Amino acid sequence: MRIALIMENSQAAKNGIVHDALTKVVVPMGHNVDNYGMYGADDPVSLTYVQNGILGAILLNSGAADYVVSGCGTGEGAMLALNSFPGVIAGHIVDPSDAYMFAQINDGNAVSFPFAKGFGWGAELNLEYSFEKLFGFESGQGYPRDRVVPEQRNKKILDGVRTTAFRPFVEILADLDKDLLKGAVAGRRFKDLFFAHATDKNIIAFVKGLVG
């Protein structure tokens, strides 16, 4: 699995903490981590939580990433931004039990953490334990186990509702503010990471038009 990490401007200084916790847990599992920034408080490319959602949706829909780890101060804004797009099911994760139940019940592909609220002593341990519960087990298996059949049925129903509710992703991108879009993909490692792994030809072509 290829996991993308995206941080926004208010929490950019914690990129190293989050990246270290994520790689410590998931690399031994055989997963890859791509750090899309922000890379620190002084990173000249500033991402808002709205741009986190845009960037995350571009990565997931294009095939450049299989999973997105993001967040903001409370985690709520980044989650809402991610869920604004087709191809993304994002959960709000505070602790390991949230992580496990989101993975097993909702079987999503993105998470948003509160990197300011409650982020104190032992925060890196909470992240590590949460990543273990997110990525250490096969997802979508239900919780509790006797609920697996209705939960998997409801997940398929939700997927159908979302398919009906959204337009094609490239059409959505074309209607967004161009400066907002360009800012979302302006990170110093974006082009190298994205073009190395993206597979959707239409999205690749659209992004090339943005970044050259």
pLDDT 10s per residue in the chain (212 long)? 999 999 999 999 999 999 999 999 999 999 999 999 999 999 999 999 999 999 999 999 999 999 999 999 999 999 999 999 999 999 999 999 999 999 999 999 999 999 999 999 999 999 999 999 999 999 999 999 888 899 899 999 999 999 999 999 999 999 999 999 999 999 999 999 999 999 999 999 999 999 98
Look up the domain containing 190 and give its range. 2-211
Whichever domain contains 15, its CATH number is 3.40.1400.10
- pLDDT at residue 145, as a whole number: 85
Domain total in the chain? 1
Longest distance between any two alpha carbons in the chain, whole Å:
51
- pLDDT at residue 146, as a whole number: 85
- pLDDT at residue 93, as a whole number: 98
- Show the CA angle centred on residue 67, arms to residues 61 and 70, nearest 5°: 105
Burial of 170 per CB tally in 10 Å (0-12, 13-18, 19+): middle
- pLDDT at residue 148, as a whole number: 87
Both tokens assigned to 22: 């994520």
What residues are paired with 113 via a beta bridge? 71
- pLDDT at residue 166, as a whole number: 94
- Show the CA angle centred on residue 166, arms to residues 169 and 61, nearest 5°: 35
Q: Locate the DSSP E strands across 28-135.
A: 32-35, 67-72, 90-92, 110-114
Q: Among 159, 134, 160, 156, which Cα is nearest to 21's? A: 134
Q: How far apart are CA 56 and CA 149, in angstroms?
A: 30
Both tokens assigned to 190: 């974006």
93 with 113: CB under 8 angstroms? Answer: yes
This prediction's pTM: 0.96
54 with 88: CB under 8 angstroms? Answer: no
- pLDDT at residue 208, as a whole number: 97
